[in-house]
């Protein structure tokens, strides 16, 4: 009883007993499921890349030896890069508007950017198929403006439009998080020292917002690298990206080793980008706190 | 002047952000047998089609069944894991926590290839259990994150108080801890359902002609069919996920208000 009372008077979060090991047992069931249905599948994919059909680096020499594959890799990279650049160009002013808006306008802007978050990926891709078709609304509007018609579907343009729409929340939210912490009086200070608004913005505001820019860009880039459904339905089969090639190798051609090798390349790229993200975030965090 | 430009830009971007969600619903009520937007006339025949077609209905039923099972499995496992993660004091806990969130990061296709290979071996391709386990892995982070957040705002002295009044560990958890973190658990459960209900890539690999989920059936239809039944299916998904996400957001909002 005395010890229980003592525990009650201790501040929350204080160690009440010697190292607590029993709660760790609660993690076990989830860990077992992850080991069997996540880790084991990933490891077996990596192993197949090195062993199927015969042990060695054959699948990787095939991947990096064929010009076709390198084109796919390059296309995957440039598509992800375009998506990132356009998403940044659209999101930067948008996030900035969120910081200067009143509470109600900010709520509306936030809601709008969150809509793509929860509208199903499949539904949204289907909607873009309709919007972008040759006789679709987008072409009608462009036609009314005296432009087009453009072929948007089955092109990289269509893929980029769809992917940017899907990934914009991942750019806007970190940008807004950083921008809302910037003291806008710094801009007035720069102005009072003689800087014109544009110059003050470029030399004071933009550098302060960079941690948000890098976090958003890397998140969008990483997600874009691994996209499957949107490019498969909006793009053309001849412009396939890495993830579609993996699907084709495994599901269509039953080349497990080759699909596995491509999977290893995609996974490696993703992990490298995440490592980069972790480093930038830590540096960004240090700059903000220190 | 510059303000006006900024707002005009935001309005355009905002319209573009919501456009896909906005066209699907009216499209599903079109009277014509084409996916032309805007529709010329309105009818509910595509919903009659959707609910009358055994293929669409079995896909919808599979999705609901898988979603509900995933909700139960992922919520129980995720809540237990979140409890362990916030309370255990072990070396390497951060690593364990990181690996629990890893399914959010790994590209879908990469996981799908691995899962497909393993499922072929275990004969889980095209099985309900297979869908449930594959989706559970993807849903776990979405349970662990909100539940951990609730637990961090939870005052553990309340549990000690319950213990001092004679409650056992389980009783204290059931009558004190669980009701107080319930909003986080409920939000996690809803996110788990939505994650499963939305998942396409892994499902594409592990489907069979006899068992496929609604998004997989949609995926197959988008490339082949041109009739607006697919728009009716899409609207069903929008209504379902939107209402669930709104409910989950409500729980999260209530939790953060309760903490203030």
* Residue B221 to residue B230: CA distance in whole angstroms: 7
In eight-state DSSP terms, residue B30 is: B
Residues in chain B with CB shorter than 8 Å from the CB of A120 are: 197-198, 215, 234, 237-238, 241
pLDDT at A249: 92
Cα–Cα distance measured from residue B84 to residue B186, given in angstroms and rounded to the nearest whole number: 18
Assess whether pLDDT exceeds 70 at residue A18.
no
- Mean per-residue pLDDT over chain B, rounded: 89
Q: Are A175 and A213 in contact (CB under 8 A)?
A: yes
Asked if B43 and B31 count as a contact pair (C-beta separation under 8 A), the reply is yes
3-class state of residue B211 by DSSP: strand
| B39 Cβ contact list (under 8 Å, min separation 6) | B26, B27, B29, B30, B31, B32
DSSP 8-state symbol, B103: G
- Measured in degrees and rounded to the nearest 5, phi and psi for residue B211 equal -140, 110
* Element spanning A268, H or E: helix A256-289
Contact B114 A41 (CB under 8 A): yes
- For A50-86, the pLDDT digits (tens) are 998 889 999 999 999 999 999 999 999 999 999 999 9
Q: Which of A112, A118, A246 sits opposite B17 (nearest CB)?
A: A112
Q: What is the ipTM of this complex?
A: 0.88
Say what the pLDDT of residue A48 is: 93
Averaged pLDDT for residues A180-207: 89
Contact call for A246 and B110, based on CB within 8 A: yes
Q: Is the dihedral of CA B233, B234, B239, B243 positive or negative?
A: positive
Average pLDDT estimate for B16-44? 86
Peptide bond into A149 cis (omega under 30): yes
CB within 8 Å: B234 and A266:
no
Separation in Å, CA of A79 to nearest CA in chain B? 16
Site from A20, A48, A106, A130 to mutate, B interface, most B CB atoms within 10 angstroms: A130
In this predicted structure, what is the pLDDT of residue B256? 63
pLDDT reported for residue B15: 92
CB neighbours of residue B70 within 10 Å = 28
A positions 243-272 inside 8 Å of B (CB):
243, 246-247, 250-251, 256, 259-260, 263, 266-267, 270
Spatial CB neighbours of A184, under 8 Å, sequence gap ≥ 6 = none
Does A127 contact chain B (CB < 8 Å)? yes
Evaluate if residue A2 carries a pLDDT over 70.
Answer: no
- Tell me which residue of B191, B5, B221, B15 sits closest to A96, measured CA to CA: B5
Cα distances from A43 to residues A64, A247, B118, in angstroms, run: 22, 18, 10
Q: Which of B18, B110, B157 sits opposite A112 (nearest CB)?
A: B18
Contact A23 B16 (CB under 8 A): no
pLDDT of residue B105: 87
Task: Pick A3 or B208 by higher pLDDT.
Answer: B208
**B124-128, long-range: CB within 8 Å, 24+ apart, which pairs?**
B124/B206, B125/B206, B125/B208, B126/B206, B126/B207, B126/B208, B126/B209, B126/B210, B126/B211, B127/B211, B128/B62, B128/B65, B128/B66, B128/B69, B128/B211
Q: Calculate how close chain A gets to B86, using CA atoms only, in Å.
A: 9
Nearest to A264 by CA among B111, B180, B101: B111
Ramachandran assignment for A15, one of left (phi > 0), alpha (psi -120 to 50 degrees), beta (any other): beta
Token pair of B91 as six digits: 């070396």
pLDDT category at B159 given cuts 50, 70, 90 is confident
Mutation target to probe the A interface, by most A beta carbons within 10 A, among B2, B9, B13 is B13
If you average pLDDT over each of A286-290, B85-89, B121-125, which comes out highest?
B121-125
**pTM for the whole thing?**
0.87
What does the alpha-carbon distance between residue B214 and residue B234 come to, in Å, rounded to a whole number?
Answer: 9
Percent of chain B scored above 90 by pLDDT? 50
pLDDT of residue A17: 45
Distance from CA of B171 to the nearest CA of A (A): 16
A80/chain B closest Cα distance in angstroms: 13
* pLDDT of amino acid A169: 92
Chain-chain contact of B133 with A37 (C-beta, under 8 angstroms): yes
pLDDT in tens, B101-138: 899 889 999 999 999 999 999 999 999 999 999 999 99
Q: In A101-136, where does DSSP find H-type helix?
A: 103-118, 121-132
| pLDDT value at A238 more than 90 | no
Would you call B157 and A24 a contact, using CB atoms and an 8 Å cutoff?
Answer: no
Chain A, residues 130-149, CB within 8 A of chain B, namely 130-131, 133, 135-137
Task: Give Cα A154 to chain centroid, integer Å.
Answer: 23
Please check whether residue A121 is in contact with residue A229, taking contact to mean a CB–CB distance below 8 angstroms.
yes
Q: Please give the Cα distance from A167 to A86 (Å, whole number).
A: 11
pLDDT digits (tens, 9 = 90+) for B211-257: 999 999 999 998 887 788 999 999 988 888 888 878 877 777 776 66
The per-residue pLDDT for range A242-267, each reduced to its tens digit, is: 999 999 999 888 999 999 999 999 99
What's A237's DSSP letter?
Answer: G
Report the Cα–Cα distance between both ends of chain A, in Å, rounded: 46
pLDDT at A230 over 70: yes
Q: What totals of helices (H) and strands (E) does chain B contain, helices first?
A: 12, 0
Phi/psi at B42 (5° precision): -120, 145
Q: Are B231 and B35 in contact (CB under 8 A)?
A: yes
Predicted confidence at residue B66, as pLDDT, reads 97
Task: Provide the number of CB pairs (under 8 Å) joining chain A to chain B.
Answer: 254
Task: State the nearest Cα–Cα gap between B24 and chain A, in angstroms.
Answer: 6
Please choose, from the candidates A74, A57, A41, A79, the residue with its C-alpha nearest in 3D space to the C-alpha of residue A261: A57
pLDDT exceeds cutoff 90 at A34: yes
Residues B190 and B145 sit within 8 Å (Cβ to Cβ): no
**Which residue blocks in chain B are alpha helix, DSSP H?**
2-28, 45-52, 54-87, 93-101, 108-122, 128-152, 157-164, 169-172, 178-198, 201-206, 214-224, 229-259
Does the structure show a pLDDT above 70 at B167? yes
For chain A, the average pLDDT equals 86
């Amino acid at each position: 009883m005395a010890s229980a009372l003592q525990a009650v008077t201790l501040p929350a979060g204080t160690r009440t007993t010697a190292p607590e090991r029993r709660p760790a047992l609660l993690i076990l069931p989830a860990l077992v499921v992850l080991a069997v249905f996540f880790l084991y599948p990933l490891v077996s994919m990596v192993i197949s890349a090195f062993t199927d059909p015969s042990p060695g680096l054959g699948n990787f020499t095939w991947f990096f030896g064929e010009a076709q594959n390198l084109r796919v890799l390059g296309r995957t990279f440039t598509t992800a890069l375009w998506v990132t650049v356009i998403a940044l160009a659209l999101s930067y002013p948008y996030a900035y508007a969120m910081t200067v808006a009143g509470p109600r306008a900010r709520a509306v802007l936030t809601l709008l950017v969150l809509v793509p978050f929860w509208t199903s990926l499949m539904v949204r891709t289907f909607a873009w198929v309709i919007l972008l078709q040759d006789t679709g609304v987008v072409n009608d509007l462009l036609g009314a403006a005296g432009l087009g018609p453009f072929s948007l579907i089955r092109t990289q343009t269509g893929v980029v439009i769809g992917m940017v729409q899907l990934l914009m929340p991942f750019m806007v939210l970190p940008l807004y998080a950083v921008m809302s912490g910037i003291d806008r009086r710094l801009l007035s200070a720069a102005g009072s020292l003689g800087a014109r608004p544009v110059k003050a913005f470029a030399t004071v505001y933009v550098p302060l917002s960079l941690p948000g820019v890098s976090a958003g860009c890397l998140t969008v880039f990483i997600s874009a690298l691994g996209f499957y459904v949107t490019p498969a339905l909006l793009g053309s089969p001849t412009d396939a990206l890495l993830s579609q090639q993996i699907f084709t190798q495994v599901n269509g051609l039953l080349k497990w080793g080759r699909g596995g090798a491509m999977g290893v390349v995609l996974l490696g790229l993703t992990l490298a980008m995440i490592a980069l993200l972790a480093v930038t975030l830590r540096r960004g965090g240090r700059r903000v706190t220190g | 002047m510059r303000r006006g430009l900024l707002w005009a830009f935001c309005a355009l971007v905002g319209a573009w952000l919501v456009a896909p969600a906005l066209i699907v619903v009216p499209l599903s009520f079109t009277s014509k047998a084409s996916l032309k937007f805007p529709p010329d006339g309105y009818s509910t025949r595509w919903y009659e089609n959707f609910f009358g077609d055994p293929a669409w209905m079995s896909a919808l039923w599979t999705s609901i069944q898988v979603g509900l099972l995933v909700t139960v499995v992922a919520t129980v496992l995720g809540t237990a894991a979140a409890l362990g993660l916030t309370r255990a004091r072990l070396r390497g806990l951060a690593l364990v926590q990181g690996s629990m969130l890893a399914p959010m990061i790994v590209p879908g296709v990469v996981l799908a290839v691995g899962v497909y290979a393993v499922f072929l071996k275990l004969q889980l391709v095209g099985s309900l259990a297979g869908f449930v386990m594959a989706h559970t892995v993807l849903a776990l982070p979405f349970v662990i994150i909100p539940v951990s957040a609730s637990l961090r705002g939870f005052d553990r002295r309340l549990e000690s108080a319950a213990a001092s009044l004679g409650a056992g560990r389980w009783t204290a958890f059931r009558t004190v801890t669980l009701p107080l973190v319930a909003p986080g658990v409920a939000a996690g459960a809803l996110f788990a359902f939505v994650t499963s209900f939305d998942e396409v890539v892994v499902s594409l690999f592990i489907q069979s002609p006899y068992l496929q989920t609604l998004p997989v059936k949609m995926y197959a239809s988008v490339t082949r069919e041109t009739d607006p039944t697919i728009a009716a299916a899409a609207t069903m998904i929008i209504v379902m996920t939107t209402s669930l996400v709104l409910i989950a957001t409500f729980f999260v909002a209530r939790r953060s208000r309760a903490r203030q």
